Structure 1
Amino acid sequence: MENNDLYIYLKEMWHIKKRMEAIQTVATNKNSTLFQYTNIEFIMLQIRKVIEHIAMGNLVVNKDLYSKYNDKFSSNWNVKYIFKDLERLNPQFYPVPVKTDDTVKPKKWVDVDKEMYLTKQEAIKVYNKCSSLMHVSNPYGSQIDIYYYQKMIPIWYTKIMNLLNQHIIHMADREQLYCIVMNGDEDGNPHGYVFMPANQ
């Protein structure tokens, strides 16, 4: 990944970080839209955009597909189709969450249990769920259960945090791994580090 690509990817992660902070602020009642329904709708909009930022960040990593999609961004933001095309180019495009094992020397990465983070399949489902709150329900049609969303906020929030807190991106050319830390020691902002696979 070139330095410019790194900058763009980290910028996407920075936007995610700020949106997650906004979610936390409203979810913990530190700030409010003054109406519980609009609080929930605000949070769902942020979660939806977080998933879009994950997709956009991975388009940066997979530059060939980014170039192919460059003219389509204004009309195609559907994460389901972006993920589908990304997977065709790079089956390992989705972030892989890891955590650092401090009990061994040298320290090493260990996998995060799939039940703990937002998987690729879940991301698409959550995106679609959030999208259904972008419109007002027809009073004669099926009604949206706003309390379902209220119940899911802490679950989805935690799974996104567990996915991105420290994660690995596999490059399309498979020649490098890219480790992202969302809370850098220096300034608390996202930082990235390039690693070569052990068999290189």
Structure 2
Amino acid sequence: MIAHDHMDEYCRLMKEVKMRCKVIEQIGNKKLHLIYDQTTIESLYLQFRKVLESIALGSLLAHQEKYQELKSDIHHLWKASSIITKLKRINPDFYPQPIIQEPRSGIVTAEFVPRKSDYLTQEEFIKVYDKCSKAIHVMNPFQGTGKLNFNESLQESSQWYGHIINLLNSHLIKPVGDQDMYLIQMGKQNKDPTWTYWKQFRAAPS
């Protein structure tokens, strides 16, 4: 089993994600503006990309060597599909599994069930990552103005934001090399994320 210390580190990473999401929310609500529309949207997309990188790297925290290797690769792997492919080779279960807490009567007062929709899927992850990567780099001046439409960008990013919240609010994560999983709860706005050991029960060998 992987040492639980790494889950403390994972929760610190998720706390950083929460802070970045606050910035995203403030820009989306037009409460934070960086003087110029273009720089505001670029800053918004930069926060999204940082959040996505944290999601991608989180399950590797238990193995520093693999974490550093992929973190280095991210700087020269332009397409998210390449990052996802490499991640799946290292840890096929790298992606968070979003869950919903449903109330139950009796001794067990709640049951965690998989969230089936309305969250950031791996396919949407790729789309958002690639768009953000393109937006935060200098555009080719010979291919149009390269300027982003402020209101359209805010509208589109609002859905991304909601899907990321639904992905991470309560999720299961399986660190690379571990047989079991961990329940992560992001907590209310001013609370730190927490983890709970989520042992998977396996049938005894016959």
Q: Cα 1:2–1:184, aligned 2, differ >3 Å: closer, same or farther? A: farther
CA distance in 2, matches of 1:160, 1:54: 10
Identity %: 31
2:169 to 165, 180, 185: 165
Is 1:39 matched up with 2:43? no
> How far has the Cα of 1:76 moved from its partner?
3.5
1:190 aligns with 2:193: yes
Conserved 8 A contact 2:169-2:185: yes
* Partner Cα separation in structure 1 for residue 157 and residue 101 of structure 2: 27
Shift of residue 129 of structure 1? 0.3
Partners of 1:111 and 1:73 in 2: how far apart? Answer: 29
Q: Which amino acid aligns with 2:168?
A: L
Q: Which amino acid aligns with 1:8?
A: E
| Alignment pair present for 1:112 and 2:110 | no
How far off is 1:75 after superposition?
A: 5.2
For 2:192, the aligned partner's letter is N
2:60 match: secondary structure:
helix
Match of 2:183 among 165, 179, 182: 179
Q: Which has the higher contact order (CA 8 A, sep 6+)?
A: 2
* Partner AA of 1:154 in structure 2: S
Q: CA deviation at 1:37?
A: 2.1
| Contact persistence 1:184–1:191 (CA under 8 A) | no
Residue among 131, 134, 147 paired with 2:133: 131
Q: What's the secondary structure of 1:60's corresponding residue?
A: coil
Distance 2:166 2:15 in 1: 16
Q: Which 5+ residue runs of structure 2 have no aligned equivalent?
A: none
Q: Tell me the equivalent position of 2:84.
A: 83
Q: Relative to structure 1, is the Cα distance of residues 140 and 85 closer, same or farther in structure 2, using a 3 angstrom cutoff?
A: closer
Aligned equivalents of 1:71, 1:92: Cα separation in 2: 18
Superposed CA RMSD in Å reads 2.3
- Structure 1: which 5+ runs fail to align? none
In the TM superposition, what is the alpha-carbon distance from 1:23 to its structure 2 partner?
0.9
Aligned length: 195
Runs of 4+ deviating beyond 6 Å? none
Do the aligned partners of 1:180 and 1:193 also contact (CA within 8 Å) in 2? yes
After superposition, where does 1:6-17 map in structure 2 within 5 Å? 6-17=7-18
Contact 1:117/1:160, CA 8 A, preserved across alignment: yes
Aligned to 1:146: 148
Deviation at 1:146, TM superposition (A): 2.0
C-alpha separation between the residues in 2 aligned to 1:54 and 1:133?
Answer: 20
How far did residue 22 of structure 1 move? 0.8
> Are 2:159 and 1:155 aligned?
yes
User: Counterparts of 1:175 and 1:75 in 2: how far apart (Å)?
Assistant: 26
